[in-house]
Amino acid sequence: MSRKVFEALCWASSFLEEHEREANAGEWLLRHVLSVSRSKLLASMHDLLTEDQNEEFISLVKQHAAGIPVQHLIGEEEFYGRRFIVNEHVLIPRPETEELIWNTLEMTKWLAAKKEPLTMADIGTGSGAIAVTMKLEWPELTVYASDLSEKALETARKNSQHLQADVHFMQGDLLSPFIENEVKLDILLSNPPYIPLGDKETLSPVVAEHEPELALYGGEDGLDLYRRFSEQLPAVLKPEAFVGFEVGAGQGQAVADLMQLAFPQASIKVKYDLNGKDRMVFMKI
């Protein structure tokens, strides 16, 4: 059975709402099936879908209703105006992380005025979104990206190749590869796992069941990785350096306190995102 684009979208919206999913996910999925832009989709509301297109669309909508993230179904997500490959091995890039990038680019101007060239690392890179974006936005940077997961690094490498960003990849636990290779950093960024283990039951199944646990949970209070950072950072930072962390809402001051203990002379700020949540901690030494 064939049907028009608007009929398919109406069905998808109702079906997804019944299954407590975002109604507009149907639009993303149909754009993927038809390989069209949003404006092209809106202009083709009365066009007929082929039988194959209709069947593929129904299948994708049902998979999303069952909990599979839209981004995994279409294989990509937009971040800072670019399309990144995503899959079950990496965290799906979030809009909040774009704010981490924007703030860091502003601070990079301060560092660049003092010295060149600058070396940066993205720790727990996942899809490579932070590392690749920083390299493309500030090409003079020497950029490293590390992850404990080899599968995540494979995805990050694909994104760096696809987007033509020259990033150096290292496999290892947190800052260990940098300490072992005596790499010193001007800029360190990380969006580490920060969800407390006790919050696992309250997470959406789309996140809890389909995104990698390694990238989600940060111990009993969510702060385990930041504690380890505070211990390891002195070994990798240059005398003048900048550190930026993404944190869970409500964790900003706790992370700032951990960093202040490790770097008593540092200037540390908790920054709020566009939704008014404390989602970033920045340290300048």
How far apart (Å, rounded) are the C-alpha atoms in residues 125 and 102? 17
User: What would the DSSP string read from start to end of the chain?
Assistant: ---BHHHHHHHHHHHHHHTTS-TTHHHHHHHHHHT--HHHHHHTTTSBPPHHHHHHHHHHHHHHHTT--HHHHHTEEEETTEEEE--TTSPPP-HHHHHHHHHHHHHHHHHHHH-SS-EEEEES-TTSHHHHHHHHHSTTSEEEEEES-HHHHHHHHHHHHHTT--EEEEESSTTHHHHHTT--EEEEEE----B-GGGGGGS-HHHHTTS-GGGTB-SSSS-HHHHHHHHHGGGTEEEEEEEEEE--TT-HHHHHHHHHHH-TT-EEEEEE-TTS-EEEEEEE-
177 is in an annotated binding site: no
- The answer to the question of whether 127 is labelled as a binding residue is yes
Any known ligand binding at 126?
yes
75 known member of a binding site: no
149: annotated binding-site residue?
A: no
Is there a binding annotation on residue 95? no
CA distance 195 to 274: 20
- Is 155 assigned to a binding site? no
Cα 67 from Cα 207, distance rounded (Å): 8
* 193 in a known ligand binding site: yes
> Which amino acids are annotated as binding site, given as ranges?
124-128, 147, 191-194
Which residues contribute to the annotated binding site for substrate?
Answer: 191-194
Q: Annotated binding residues for S-adenosyl-L-methionine, as ranges?
A: 124-128, 147, 191
